[in-house]
Structure 1
Amino acid sequence: MNPFTTLRRHLSPAQINFYFSIICFFSPPVLGSLVSIAFNAGGVWSVMLLAAKRRRFNIDRPMLTLTMAIYAYCATMVLASIVNGTLAADLRLFLPLITFLLFPISYSTWSITEKTTLARIAILASAAACFGALAIAIVQYHWLGTRAEGGAGNAIVFATVTCLAVMLCLAGALSGIETRWKLLVLAATAGTVAIVYSGSRMIWVAVPITGIVVLLINRRRFAGASVARFLAIGLVAAVVIAAIGSRVILDRADFLVSDWDALNANGDHSTALGLRVAMWEIGVHAFREMPIFGHGISASRALMKQALQDQFGVQQTLSHFHNGFLTALVQAGLLGALALASIFIVAAWNAARTLRFSADPLERFGATVILVAVITYLIAGMTGMLIGHDILDATLMVFLVSGTYLASGRTVTPIGKSAPAMSPHASPQP
């Protein structure tokens, strides 16, 4: 029997969403690609439910504008291949775009979940993910002698998704949605230590920046008497993190200085920093050659591999240029880069609008979820991947779907059940 059919017979739609949401928020740091499998499988199953009229399509204005931006990006990637005559070669490389195309489908299914329930799941599952991330990081760093990669198998990806989990813990503690703030502060500290163990320097930058944004969003909740206590807690957490991670921090700083010296003194492009500089030079030149539509996905990868070998004597096969927007520029030209930027601009605009006009804790938490994702991805994407990795793509969609729904969506019920209509800025009672 089909496992989805068995699941549907034993669980209600709300219960299925409950467990699905736990998987989506817990698995990125700990279980890696499970979030991609779950999100995509859930999206395909939702398509079947919508086709069978067992779910209703939920269209809100913020969701619609974000969908248009996401679909525009997917269209530019296909258009670039058509213009360059590489459509056949790129077909298999379009498969990751399915994750983005499922955005409105998953939104419609996820919005049958009560907002309070979804927010608490996101917070508590993220807390569990932070503790799991630290446990794995300790094993990988101290016992295996490697940078912490979590369940992702990639240190940068692991650090990125763990940063998101840390910020949800912090937002949950400050928003008042979850009363166990001490547990959340402890979880955020554990997650931050795991990020330190990853050695991902750009995420070390992202953590304080996103943390400050979360603090600013929730500044109204601070009474004068609580500021001193909060600062004390933050100071203690910072001291603990610095003490535990001092060796990692110093080692990574030494590597950066060493790479810089090797690049400047000897023109060595075989180091992590040197390789990035080489890829950026190749990418800028490739963009100038095809500025409007780009080279297409497969041609861009072949171009980079050949240029690294010919110009820098480095033999590497890489799928991206270690800068998200430069990758988009080379693959799909200005059209692709602008379409990619529009996803983050529209998402941030939706969040900012909610924060400006709404005082509802759930809606403000949803806006925080969006901004945390936008800021973290943009910072990480400056020297790494912005999108194009299954875990990063699925996690981004999880945060944009849930954040948009919580911030400005309306709750609907499955077909066959009735519920009063809700305004875009109304939240259900717990």
Structure 2
Amino acid sequence: MKPFTKLRRRLTPAQINFYFSIVCFFSPPVLGSLVSIAFNAGGVWSAMLLATKRRRFNIDRPMLALTVAIYAYCAAMVLASIVNGTLAADLRFFLPLITFLLFPISYSTWSITEKATLVRIAILASTAACFGALAIAIFQYHWLGVRAEGGAGNPIVFATVTCLAAMTCLAGALSGIEKRWKLLVLAAIAGAMAIVYSGSRMIWVAVPIAGIILLAINRRRFTGANVARFVAIGVVVALVIAAIGSRVVLDRTDFLVSDWDALNANGDHSTALGLRVAMWEIGFAAVREMPIFGHGITASRALMKQGFQEQFGLSAGFSHFHNGFLTAMVEAGLLGALALASIFIVAAWNAARTLRRSADPVERFGATMILVAVITYLTGGMTGILVGHDILDATLMVFLIAGTYLASGRTVAPTGKDAPAMAPSVSPQP
């Protein structure tokens, strides 16, 4: 313990933030749950520092609005359990909400880092993450013969966080903040290839949507001819990636067509598509029974198992309904779904406000991070997981905190002084 204690004493708060930020942006695609462990441990440590007045709350208006939305969602989940009398049974399922509750605490500690430094950390750590994700994806698909799942252990989760990393690289290249744009473009392509290997079809849809949004945000930096050239290059790159991953694309397309035919012709709900349709039918029936407050988490899972058995003759059960908002409605009713939606609405509003008013590249980059996260999560969450997975929850908080701080936050000193804290000597590229 002595060497660790000495190291901790030598590191300044901004230096600790520096290495903590690297872990948060690099680990989701490559090291999986490490991001959750790091974020939650960092949040608890930040709470202790705030309690001992070694840190101070940094309350900005956009951050406050987002905190209200996040806390409203957490409150809706707890209220549903109270109304249904399942509070004791649901307590263990409330643990993931701690990640959300740490939002304002982690924001206050993260904002002691200089914005230019945090931007470069996000870009360069994401670059390394994309190359790492591709290496793991190739190994898992070609050598292990499975869909790429990275360090997440889940193809959908892996694809989601890799999409965020790839779009962060692309945003860095288009914004001009990082001059090594060729490296960033290569990293984004590597990330896109890793996503193809994951076989996660909805994230395949999210990638071009997010890419188009990035071009639209940065369109003022380019002439009309350059934008057209970027679009043409993007189409060519997409075709090349599809050609390289043609086996994956064809396999996943065949599965979808086969599942569709089995569902329509034979009413087969045992396929991946059939299970989703069955879950959605069960879920909407449950919503009609308890539309305002929902059934609570434990009861919702029991209803799913019961519905599979009674309606479809299947012995199956999942922790969610493969649609984020439907899951929220079943568990916490309309109040829960609206509260969950408000998180993404407020985040998108904050980002749009910054993009409309600010020409500062760092602030616009932060707003871009927010929009990329909103697009990726909402697209993937329509047929998969939106929130409720440790890696997804922690990564969402990382992007909302960093994006909100960069877009509209203020840098503060660790212990209440007005001068911003200094980070390790990592300056923006000239």
Q: Shorter-chain TM-score: which interval? A: over 0.9
Q: 2:74 maps to what in 1?
A: 74
Residues 23-422 of structure 1 aligned to structure 2 (within 5 Å)? 23-224=23-224, 226-227=226-227, 230-231=230-231, 233-415=233-415, 417-419=417-419
Q: 1:3 to 1:404 in 2, by over 3 A?
A: farther
Q: 1:296 to 1:3 in 2, by over 3 A?
A: farther
| 2:84–2:296 CA contact under 8 A, matched in 1 | yes
Matched positions, count: 424
* C-alpha distance in structure 1 between counterparts of 2:41 and 2:5, whole Å: 13
Q: What is the rounded CA distance, in whole Å, between the counterparts of 2:416 and 2:345 in structure 1? A: 37
Q: Structure 1 stretch 215-224 or stretch 390-399: which is displaced more?
A: 215-224
Q: Distance in 2 between matches of 1:101 and 1:289?
A: 30
Query: Secondary structure at the residue paired with 1:54?
Result: coil
Q: How many Å separate the matches in 2 of 1:342 and 1:63?
A: 13
Are residues 100 and 4 of structure 1, via their aligned partners in 2, closer, same or farther at CA, if it must alter by over 3 Å? Answer: farther
Distance 1:124 1:182 in 2: 13
Q: 1:309 to 1:192 in 2, by over 3 A?
A: same
In the alignment, the residues of structure 2 paired with residue 3 and residue 36 of structure 1 have an alpha-carbon distance, to the nearest angstrom, of: 25
* Distance (Å, rounded) in 1 between the aligned partners of 2:415 and 2:29: 35
Partners of 2:94 and 2:226 in 1: how far apart?
Answer: 51
Q: How far 1:230 moved relative to its partner? A: 3.2
Q: Kindly provide the amino acid, as one letter, of the partner of residue 351 in structure 1.
A: A
Q: CA deviation at 1:65?
A: 0.5
Question: Which residue pairs with 2:424 in the alignment?
Answer: none
Q: Distance in 1 between matches of 2:370 and 2:4?
A: 30
Question: What stretches of structure 1 of length at least 5 have no aligned partner?
Answer: 422-427
Distance 1:292 1:137, change over 3 A: same
Instruction: Provide the rounded CA distance (Å) in 1 between the counterparts of 2:98 and 2:5.
Output: 23
What letter is aligned with 2:249?
Answer: I
AA partner of residue 290 (structure 1) = M
Structure 1 pair 274/225, CA: closer, same or farther in 2 (3 Å)? Answer: closer
Give distance in 2, aligned partners of 1:211 and 1:260: 29
* Sequence identity (%): 86
Q: CA deviation at 1:418?
A: 4.0
Distance in 2, Cα, partners of 1:63 & 1:234: 34
Residue identity opposite 1:75 in structure 2? A
Partners of 1:359 and 1:75 in 2: how far apart?
37
Query: Over residues 255-289 of structure 1, what are the superposed CA-to-partner deviations in whole Å (9 max), with x where a residue is unaligned?
Result: 00000000011111000000000000000000000
Name the CA distance, whole Å, in 2 between partners of 1:420 and 1:170.
29
How far 1:235 sits from its partner (Å)? 4.2
For 2:111, give the aligned amino acid: S
Change (3 A) 1:420 1:123: closer
Q: TM-score, normalised by structure 2?
A: 0.96
**Local SS of the residue matching 2:245:** helix
Distance across 1 between alignment mates of 2:416 and 2:90: 42
Partner residue, 1:424:
none
Q: Deviations over 1:71-112 (max 9, x none)?
A: 000000000000000000000100000000000000000000
- Structure-2 change in CA distance of 1:243 and 1:319 (3 Å): same
Q: Deviations over 1:199-227 (max 9, x none)?
A: 00000000000110011000011135644
Q: Structure 2 vs 1, CA of residues 380 and 113 (structure 1 numbering), >3 Å: closer, same or farther?
A: same
Deviations 1:223-249 (A, max 9, x none): 356446534543442232122111111
What amino acid is the match of 2:22? Answer: I
Deviates more, 1:52-61 or 1:410-419: 410-419
1:413 counterpart letter in structure 2: A
**Distance in 2 separating the partners of 1:349 and 1:185:** 28
Amino acid in structure 2 at the alignment position of 1:24: C
For residue 122 of structure 2, give the secondary structure of its aligned residue in structure 1.
helix
SS in 1 for 2:413: coil
8 A Cα contact 2:29 2:150, kept in partner? yes
Structure 2: which amino acid aligns with 1:405?
A: Y
Query: Could you tell me whether the CA contact under 8 Å between 2:358 and 2:364 is conserved in 1?
Result: yes
Q: Which string of whole-angstrom CA distances, capped at 9 and with x for unpartnered residues, describes residues 293-351 of structure 1?
A: 00000110111011111211111221000000000000000000000000000000000
